[in-house]
Structure 1
Amino acid sequence: MTVITGIGVVAPNGFGAKEYWAATLTGRSGIAVLDRFDTARYPARLAGLVADVDPAAHLPGRLLPQTDVSTRLALIAAESALDDAGVDTSAMADYDMGIVTANASGGFEFTHREFKKLWSQGPEHVSVYESFAWFYAVNTGQISIRHGMRGPSTALVAEQAGGLDALGQARRTVRTGIPLVVSGGVDSAFDPWGWASHLAGGRVSLDPDPATAYRPFDVRAAGYLPGEGGAMCVLEDAGAARDRGARVYGEIAGYAANFDPAPGSGRPPGLRRAAESALADAGIAPGDVDVVFADAVGVPELDRLEAQALREVFGAHAVPVTAPKALTGRLLSGGGVLDVVSALMSIQESVIPPTFGTTEVPAGYGVDVVLGEPRPAEVNTALVLARGRWGFNAATVIRKSPEGKLT
């Protein structure tokens, strides 16, 4: 059994699991006008921004010139998770600790700044750290170096589905005998080039009102908002966690991933199969699931397809569905892991957070979206879903663990 014993959150609406969870239950949003460059002439200006975390207060000064904003946030989240788990990495064997992270965009801001130097000033002005700071695997490497972790290490790229894939791979790593793995996802791509890339997909909401711009499963849904940040978790073998007296948040009971068929094939998307496979991996039936944390793109056609998959797996209106990401935006690789954090908190506190911003769900969707305010409920098992662009699908089952309870 693989359990989660530590959580580190760096989200647009909260730094740390407690602050993030309080914001999730009360509707405190992290959506704001993107202010890192002049966005006045762009068709969309809203994003989920991490605004109150100063990397200089959390990281050694020598790391700041080496790292992109996404790597800084990943390092902060990883250290928070280890502290939360009560793990002293210096007291553990280096090869007994692994790292698995997901990242969709690499060091966007860092590398574009250095490209500008290359084009305008010449190669001698480009930072030597450009050789690795741009790379999507750099978060895994920097966390490994900072904490002396030399066990199996992996970096995954699957856009919004990547964070769940990272946790799935970390669970697999623990099962091979590695006692502890730090895993999760963090992304940030909010320089001018990154923002243009977000907008080029054609799915970003153009609504200028932060309260209504991103409202998944709503009759007026018109796209999503991008965000930055994410979460890291400490995964351990349940026996090892028990032996050291660790506090346990919950168990990763099931995981599955697949790809959509080729466009034009006439075959259905893979999300339903991913959900069913994750439930089978956990050894449970659909009726055992107490809540679904949906992918919830906010694009009507994609919301309709997800609702259809949920109906086919669970039946109409058979399970509560929620999307806390309406308060943060879609965080690429960080989104799925942040939903896992929400699922763990729902299990611990017996409450399902609502989907803020959404007020009216099309009747044809046939899904019980939690609206308006938190819904008290005994939550023992949660299903978390994520879809990445170009056909990635991932599903994770989070279950209340007999090994422990949050105190």
Structure 2
Amino acid sequence: MQGNHEPIVITGIGVISPLGMSPDALWSSFEDGKNCRTIEKYKDNFGNEYSYWTNKIKDWNPQDLLGKRGLQYLQPSTQYLMGASMQALQNASLNLEELKSEDLGVVIGSNFAGMKMTWEYDYTARTRGPKYVSPMQAPNTLVNSPASHLGLRIKSRACNTTISSGQCAGLDAIGYSKKILQKNQAKYVLVGGTEEINSSISWFYKNSGFLSEDTNSDTGMPYNEKSDGIVPGEGAAVLIMERLSDAKKRKAPILAEVCSWSSAFTKKDSFGQRIGLDKAIKKAIDKSGRTTEDVKLIFSSANGIPHMDLSEKSAIDKVFSNQTVPIRSIKSMLGELSGANGLFQMAAAAGALKRNKLPSAESPQKLYGSKLGVEANSNHWEAASINDCILLVEQDYFGSSSAVIIKGV
């Protein structure tokens, strides 16, 4: 199929998160600086108990959005994704009964969706025998199970893809979906990110050295030199992406234009500092046809691991050496969401465009003395021109980095 270079836009957003069960609730929580993390105690399959901060979803009732049928075989990450998807479709004014299956695609960012069931399947098969595992739970052992369940529910046939590129998966899913639409391989793409917290994922974070050894209040706070680990989060954020002409034809609400996406692999320099994120940022800006002067707001990936936060700050300093740009990390309120990070960043960015307010989140100026950023209590962003852009960045523990540029329409 021939490529199509017309603008790709976002027409709907759905959110299931610890800060709220809708985009408006999420945006209000961001602006208020709401933090709902709690200390949870977990016991792994080896009998080890440990406590750490989490951002868990409370009072989630999937029946409100999904009904009762089949829920017992859906893992929490799948339920979150489906609930957010129903919201996004409704907010984009898309009726599933009127859509052609071949027009609708699904692209999901997730890293840990199948981990718990894989662990339980393997443990049961080894200790009790293969006949004791549940065939109904077999699909849930795969990381693409949320996307597969969703595709079946909404009868999507254009594409069904799961991206598991670490913390960059959410932004990579957005970039991949943009290409799908430009190649005319779908008319609408439901782009989502979903993760959950459970004992298996807790074990992974603990043994990978990402969790702090204590539960002090500085843990998991971006740009905080006293933090030595992350605060895991859970939830799902979903976007509806489509071509601008199709959105205008059906008079859909347009929240933002996805201008560009880029990625790079980072490495360490002679001082042990990661480099490469600056290349992803520069390439994303160049591909968008704009300059650094057009970038008026940055959503960063800072999560409370000081050396990573500092390397990201250094990359931003390098690209925006002659500017003052507000920087915000929403992970102080949502926690580290792994494959769903980029989608929640996009939801936050769309909220900033729509409401013309900044999240009351952590800024690098607070502790690292950066000349970038604004005071932490600033809550207003002047979107003066249609060319003004928002930059979203993510970097993974193991070396990859991604950047996305969006703007208002």
Sequence identity of aligned pairs in percent?
A: 23
**Separation in structure 2 between the aligned mates of residue 296 and residue 369 of structure 1, nearest angstrom:** 16
Deviation at residue 300 of structure 1 after TM alignment: 1.7
Determine which of 229, 240, 249 is the counterpart of 1:243. Answer: 249
**Separation in structure 2 between the aligned mates of residue 54 and residue 313 of structure 1, nearest angstrom:** 44
Give CA-to-partner distance per residue, 1:187-212, whole Å, 9 cap, x none. Answer: 11422x22110112223234424x53
- 2:20 is matched with which residue? 14
Give CA-to-partner distance per residue, 1:165-222, whole Å, 9 cap, x none. Answer: 001111111111221000021011422x22110112223234424x532221134333
Q: Is the 8 A contact 1:108 1:134 kept in 2?
A: yes
Deviation at residue 13 of structure 1 after TM alignment: 1.4
Deviation at residue 398 of structure 1 after TM alignment: 1.2
User: Normalising by the residue count of structure 2, what TM-score does the alignment of the two structures yield?
Assistant: 0.90
Determine which of 341, 355, 372 is the counterpart of 2:347. Answer: 341
How well do the aligned residues superpose, as a CA RMSD in angstroms?
2.5
SS of 1:5's equivalent in the other structure is strand
Deviation at residue 141 of structure 1 after TM alignment: 1.4
Going from structure 1 to structure 2, the CA distance change for 1:130 and 1:38 (only over 3 Å counts) comes to closer
**Separation in structure 2 between the aligned mates of residue 298 and residue 80 of structure 1, nearest angstrom:** 31
Give CA-to-partner distance per residue, 1:5-27, whole Å, 9 cap, x none. Answer: 01011112111101111111112
One-letter amino acid matched to 1:208 = T
Deviation at residue 394 of structure 1 after TM alignment: 0.8
**Separation in structure 1 between the aligned mates of residue 373 and residue 213 of structure 2, nearest angstrom:** 27
- 2:4 is matched with which residue? none
| 1:371 maps onto 2:379 in alignment | no
Determine which of 381, 400, 404 is the counterpart of 1:392. Answer: 400
Determine which of 193, 196, 205 is the counterpart of 1:185. Answer: 193
Q: Is the 8 A contact 2:300 2:327 kept in 1?
A: yes
Q: Is the 8 A contact 1:186 1:334 kept in 2?
A: yes
**Separation in structure 2 between the aligned mates of residue 64 and residue 112 of structure 1, nearest angstrom:** 21
Q: Structure 2, unaligned stretches of length 5 or more?
A: 1-6
**Separation in structure 2 between the aligned mates of residue 165 and residue 87 of structure 1, nearest angstrom:** 24
Going from structure 1 to structure 2, the CA distance change for 1:135 and 1:333 (only over 3 Å counts) comes to same
Going from structure 1 to structure 2, the CA distance change for 1:184 and 1:151 (only over 3 Å counts) comes to same
Determine which of 81, 84, 90 is the counterpart of 1:74. Answer: 81
User: Normalising by the residue count of structure 1, what TM-score does the alignment of the two structures yield?
Assistant: 0.90
Give CA-to-partner distance per residue, 1:320-366, whole Å, 9 cap, x none. Answer: 10111211101011111101110111011111112259883222x44
Going from structure 1 to structure 2, the CA distance change for 1:48 and 1:93 (only over 3 Å counts) comes to same
Going from structure 1 to structure 2, the CA distance change for 1:128 and 1:28 (only over 3 Å counts) comes to same
**Separation in structure 2 between the aligned mates of residue 265 and residue 24 of structure 1, nearest angstrom:** 36
- 1:293 is matched with which residue? 299
Runs of 4+ in 1 over 6 A off after TM superposition: 38-41, 262-267
Deviation at residue 252 of structure 1 after TM alignment: 0.5
- 2:8 is matched with which residue? 2
Deviation at residue 37 of structure 1 after TM alignment: 5.2
Deviation at residue 281 of structure 1 after TM alignment: 1.2
- 2:3 is matched with which residue? none
- 2:283 is matched with which residue? 277
**Separation in structure 2 between the aligned mates of residue 145 and residue 264 of structure 1, nearest angstrom:** 50
| 1:61 maps onto 2:68 in alignment | yes
**Separation in structure 2 between the aligned mates of residue 125 and residue 369 of structure 1, nearest angstrom:** 57
**Separation in structure 1 between the aligned mates of residue 234 and residue 9 of structure 2, nearest angstrom:** 26
| 1:168 maps onto 2:175 in alignment | yes
